[in-house]
Structure 1
């Protein structure tokens, strides 16, 4: 039996991405135990049962994922105390900014602790969905991973015909599409005869944004979601989702809900879900990809430090409609209308 520490990027959406990967690790090594930082998604019973995983045996502080020198003594005490002999580092970071981890890994080698990490795939992150990259790492270590069933929450899906959801919240202001653009898109969706529900999470800025949109032409309902379960159930009841928030997007993919994602300050080639293109479409800001603050791992250096967000101008309402029309959902509606006529 081995004891591992599994490290992932922080965030509930990353928990949704990691769940099938952890389930694969558990199936391959049912006698292993592992520790992780707490994650709302991975600590939720309906997530674990749907994907077929038991979950971690215990937890460690979330900031240890950065392998900071200041945490090193406490981290090694934890490793020694719990008999950890393997660190599975699924945190997406590029080599030039991962020196703290490399320092830890060098010491781990001396101490006889094995490390698996995404750097094994190459010095620079590939522009492939993160889940595919992490799966490649696990497969290289003899852990079979099957990503051919992306909709592992599909049994909860109860779509309401012609109901489009717009999730306008996001974890940082730089990731949020401007109110005027949402208003334009919502009006155009309503012109197509669709009912448009607009939703956000618990963040005060998000809720203020939703209140501004509540009177926009075409909005049929506003939804304040207070929990992961509430977000799940709302998406499960949509015919299609448009979102600038990746948690909502990865949850939609797990539910099998068609989704169009606006990648304003993030590289969608890396942070999009593993799903067929007829179910999941991306609208990528070219401004973001050319910005000097975009890191090779597909994230922005200024997410949480403040930025005027010029990348938002790289996504326009017509771009979203074009991708919406490429979904199988849209094609099916067009075919149905042709038959009816």
Structure 2
């Protein structure tokens, strides 16, 4: 197995842990506080974090490069990124590095995480297993956000949760309002016409605010943002920013005062930095997979997703077409997004 050694430090204490997480960028951002919490805990001195998932590039990029404003860049963990999920070789690696604890942040239960549960059954007596209660998260009387569940898992093991420093209202008031209209998953992209109408209405109502429109770098995202640019080109307080590097995109979001998006990573990045965010959710459950902070609001479709994995709150169609995604997208209206956008901008303006 190819193991990319991203950062190497001495792990003589042998008390590191293996962290299992989803490989997508949004999930890496969402789990940042959890990994930071583990890195600060004395029982994990010489921490080694490993992601047995493919692909790992975006997750490893995020955790290692820390794309936050400068004051947040103090976290330098010891970690490796696995290029494939091979539990035999992962076990050898854990023994070699004397890793005794497995922290599972993505637990979807034995129906979907079959390889993990087979591994756990074999090695239950050799390693300590920390994992989310998947049944409680997805089937409990009250749906629980993944990070809220992670915090509770840490609390019972006396691991103190880490919170990033909050920005002041003075910093917030100087920021832009950001529309992040891209996503490399077509099922998450709302549509050019809808975004044009939302941008035009909000920017016309708040002429003293500055608005930025951001997107991703895939061919489809570039095509869509070009069409959006054509539809809002005459708006004096709106700037459309072309495809950027992750660092550039992160920096803009980090300096914003409010973010509206249908994509995972800008929602989670804004939430991590305590920036108010309005999420638009189609086939994904916004309670489980959104933000858990007070500054977060969401609009979700009332229609059931035919492609949703049983009990998980997310759709199985990441890069394939969700069976009823068109109907789901149409069920969320421009008027809903504008209404919630106005409410949040008014609230932010009053505070600042």
**Same fold per superposition (TM over 0.5):** yes
Q: 1:46 to 1:21 in 2, by over 3 A?
A: same
Segments of structure 2 that go 5 or more residues without pairing to the other structure are 1-12
Q: 1:239 to 1:113 in 2, by over 3 A?
A: closer
Contact 2:72–2:165 (Cα < 8 Å) also in 1: yes
Contact 1:261–1:281 (Cα < 8 Å) also in 2: yes
Q: 1:223 to 1:142 in 2, by over 3 A?
A: same
Which runs of structure 1 show a deviation greater than 6 angstroms over 4 or more consecutive aligned residues?
Answer: none
Does residue 81 of the first structure (1) align with residue 96 of the second (2)? yes
Deviations 1:78-98 (A, max 9, x none): 222222221111114244222
Question: Aligned to 1:40, what secondary structure does the other structure show?
Answer: helix
Question: Aligned to 1:183, what secondary structure does the other structure show?
Answer: helix
Counterpart position of 1:312 = 329
Which of 4, 7, 11 aligns to 2:24? It is 11
Question: Aligned to 2:95, what secondary structure does the other structure show?
Answer: helix
How far apart, in 2, do the equivalents of 1:42 and 1:335 lie?
Answer: 32
Contact 1:121–1:137 (Cα < 8 Å) also in 2: no
> Aligned ranges for residues 129-168 of structure 1 at < 5 Å?
129-145=145-161, 149=163, 152=165, 154=167, 158-159=171-172, 163-168=176-181
How far apart, in 2, do the equivalents of 1:26 and 1:117 lie?
Answer: 17
Which of 266, 283, 299 aligns to 2:284? It is 266
Counterpart position of 1:251 = 269
How far apart, in 2, do the equivalents of 1:43 and 1:157 lie?
Answer: 29
Counterpart position of 2:241 = 223
Aligned length: 320
Could you tell which deviates more after superposition, 221-230 or 260-269?
A: 221-230
Counterpart position of 2:81 = 60
How far apart, in 1, do the equivalents of 2:187 and 2:74 lie?
Answer: 35
Counterpart position of 2:221 = 206
How far apart, in 2, do the equivalents of 1:12 and 1:156 lie?
Answer: 28
Deviations 1:184-239 (A, max 9, x none): 11121133134432111222211111001101136522112422321122223433
Does residue 240 of the first structure (1) align with residue 265 of the second (2)? no
Give the root-mean-square deviation of aligned CA atoms.
2.8
Counterpart position of 2:7 = none
Segments of structure 1 that go 5 or more residues without pairing to the other structure are 65-70, 337-341
How far apart, in 2, do the equivalents of 1:239 and 1:282 lie?
Answer: 17
TM-score with structure 2 length normalisation? 0.81
TM-score with structure 1 length normalisation? 0.83
Q: 1:268 to 1:121 in 2, by over 3 A?
A: same
